[in-house]
Amino acid sequence: MISGQTALYGLVAHPARHSLSPKIQNQWFSEKQIDARYVAFDTQANAREVVQAIQTLGIAGVNLSMPYKQALLPLITELSSTAQLIGAINTVKNQNGHLSATSTDGAGFWQAFKRANPNQPVQQLVVLGAGGAALAVIEAAGRAGVQQVTVFKRQNQTFAQVQAQLQAISRYHDLAIEVVPYEATARLATALRTADCVVNATNIGMALTPGLPIESSLIDQIKQEAVVVDLIYAPQATAFLKKWRQRQLVCQNGLGMLIEQAALSFQFWTDQTINTTEMYQQLMEEF
Ligand code: NAP
C-alpha cells in the first residue's frame, strides 16, 4: 500500500518507458517488504535539473541511463572509485540531499558471467567497443581475475581520451590493457585466437543497428573453449551470438548483466542483498 511514508525510486533516462527496471525493482521492494516504489522518469531535462528534482522532491534513489550516465557525475558529492575511473554512474542514492553514486554495470556483468560459467576462468579478455558499458566491464575485470584485456575501438575522436582513461584503470588495478583500432586486423585475429572471453560492447546487433561488430571470418578465429558474450539482450540473440551458436558453443546475452546490475543497485540503496534466481526465471520466460 502506498502511504505518506512511501519512498520513491526511479530510472531517469530518455527513452525510459521500455525499461524492465520498474518491474524488477518493484518486485524486490515488495519481496523485501520495503515501503518504496520505482517508476520510469522519461525526461529530457538537463543534468542540473535532474539533480535538483532528486533533491527537492526527496527522491530516495535513481538509476541513470542514456544520456545521463556521464552528465550527472560532476554534480554528485560522493563518488565510488569505480565511478571515478570509468567516468560514469548508473546508481544514485539520496540521503537528506547528500548524493552518493556508483556504477554497478561492471560488477553486474561479472556476477552474471560467473553465474552462467562457474568453471570458466578468464585470463585473456577481448572487448569490442570502448563506450560506457565496455569501460565498466573492463574496470571490474581485474577483480574477476582477468590478467590481460585487449580493447578494439574505432579510430575516431574519442580514441585518445578513452586510451587515457583505460591507462588510468590499468594503473589503478595493475591490469594489462591494450587499446587497438579495428584496422589492426592481424592483432585482432591474434587476440581473438587466445581470448578466454570475447565481449561485444558495441551497439551493433540492436534492432536499429543490426549486423556483426567484426567480420564473420574474424569470429571464426575465436577459440572454441571461449565464452562469447553480447551485452545486448533485445534481441535475445544478436547476429554475433547466432553466428557463434551455429558452432554449438557457449554464449550469453546481456540479460544476466541487466538483472545483476539491478540487484547491486538495490543493495546500494537498501543494504539488502537479492537472490536473483527467480528474476532470471521470470525474465527468461518472458523473453
Ligand atoms: P555507448 O557508450 O554509446 O558506446 C557505444 C559503443 O558502440 C562504442 O564503443 C562505439 O564505438 C560502438 N559503436 C557504435 N557504433 C559503431 C559502429 N558502427 N562500428 C563500431 N563500433 C560502434 O553505449 P554503452 O552504454 O556503452 O552501451 C553499449 C551496448 O551495451 C549497448 O548495446 C547497450 O544496450 C549495452 N548495454 C547493456 C547493459 C546490460 O545491462 N545488459 C548495460 C549497459 C549497456 P567507439 O568507441 O569505437 O566509438
DSSP state letter for 118: T
Please identify which residue in the block is written with the cell numbers 525474465: 283
Look up residue 123 and give its DSSP letter.
Answer: S
Q: Is the CB of 258 under 6 A from ligand 1?
A: yes
pLDDT band, residue 287 (cuts 50/70/90): confident
Q: Answer whether 257 contacts ligand 1 (Cβ < 6 A).
A: yes
Catalytic-labelled residue, pool 23, 32, 69, 242: 69
Query: To which residue does cell 525510486 refer?
Result: 9
Could you report how far apart the first and last alpha carbons of the chain are, in Å? 29
pLDDT in tens, 86-105: 999 999 999 999 999 999 99
Answer for the pair 198, 228: CB distance below 8 angstroms, yes or no.
yes
- DSSP label at 2? -
Question: What percent helix, strand, coil does the chain show, rounded to 5?
Answer: 45, 20, 35
Residue 133 CA: nearest ligand 1 atom is 26
Which residue's alpha carbon is at the smallest distance from atom 40 of ligand 1?
258
For the chain, what percent of residues have pLDDT higher than 90? 95
pLDDT, mean over the chain: 96
**Which amino acid residue places its CA nearest to atom 46 of ligand 1?**
130
Band of residue 207 on the pLDDT scale cut at 50, 70, 90: confident
On the question of pLDDT at 245 being above 90, the answer is: no
Q: Which three cell numbers stand for residue 213?
A: 561488430
211: its cell numbers: 549486423
Residue-wise pLDDT for 113-123, tens only, equals 999 999 999 99
What is the mean pLDDT of the segment spanning 211-237? Answer: 95
What are the phi and psi torsion angles at 127 (to 5°)? -120, 125
